[in-house]
């Protein structure tokens, strides 16, 4: 009987250890992507839709938006506002020229420049963050604005 109890305890301990290791692996494998690559978040910059398709962005990864702070800023918006370039109902607004935004769950995130005319001129990007979660209502996606040093994560441009 004691050997059965011991075996169950060892099994439970092993399962707990494996769970912790899996969680740590997922946490620490997050990557950072500089939106727009070397050019960054600029008017007349790269084709942001093509840039987004070149990357396999996952939930937990971060986006680095770098831009001249006097001429641009970043807004996360709903899909409807993304399509119409509406800036009056942002989910998130980030300013200052260098912003790190974590994509906290799988789903689609929509970002635009909030300066008049910039979104309609192509300064917008839809990011599909993959992950293992079940169906998620895309309009309720949240992100997290991080006050972090952008160099703390490995960067992909």
Mean pLDDT of all residues in 5-11: 54
Q: Which of 10-14, 20-24, 78-82 has the highest mean pLDDT?
A: 78-82
Tens digits of per-residue pLDDT, 34-61? 999 999 999 998 999 999 999 999 999 9
Beta strands in the chain (DSSP E): 32-34, 62-66, 74-77, 92-94, 98-103, 107-113, 124-129, 143-146, 155-156
Tens digits of per-residue pLDDT, 99-115? 999 999 999 999 999 99
Confidence of residue 29 (pLDDT cuts 50, 70, 90): confident
Mean pLDDT of all residues in 22-44: 79
Least confident of 3-7, 27-31, 66-70, 92-96: 3-7
Q: What is the mean pLDDT of the chain?
A: 79
Q: Which residue has the higher pLDDT, 58 or 134?
A: 58
Least confident of 86-100, 106-120, 124-138: 124-138
């Amino acid at each position: 009987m004691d050997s059965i109890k011991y075996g169950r305890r060892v099994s439970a301990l092993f399962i707990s250890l494996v769970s912790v290791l899996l969680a740590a692996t997922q946490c620490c494998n997050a990557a950072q992507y500089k939106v727009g690559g070397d050019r960054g978040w600029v008017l007349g910059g790269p084709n942001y839709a093509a840039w987004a398709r070149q990357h396999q962005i996952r939930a937990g990864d971060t986006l680095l938006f770098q831009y001249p702070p006097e001429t641009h800023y970043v807004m996360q918006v709903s899909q409807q506002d993304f399509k119409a370039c509406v800036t009056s109902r942002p989910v998130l607004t980030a300013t200052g020229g260098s912003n790190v935004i974590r994509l906290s769950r799988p789903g689609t995130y929509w970002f635009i420049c909030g300066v008049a005319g910039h979104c309609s001129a192509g300064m917008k990007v839809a990011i599909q963050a993959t992950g293992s979660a079940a169906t998620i209502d895309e309009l309720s996606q949240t992100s997290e604005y991080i006050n972090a040093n952008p160099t703390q994560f490995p960067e992909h441009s």
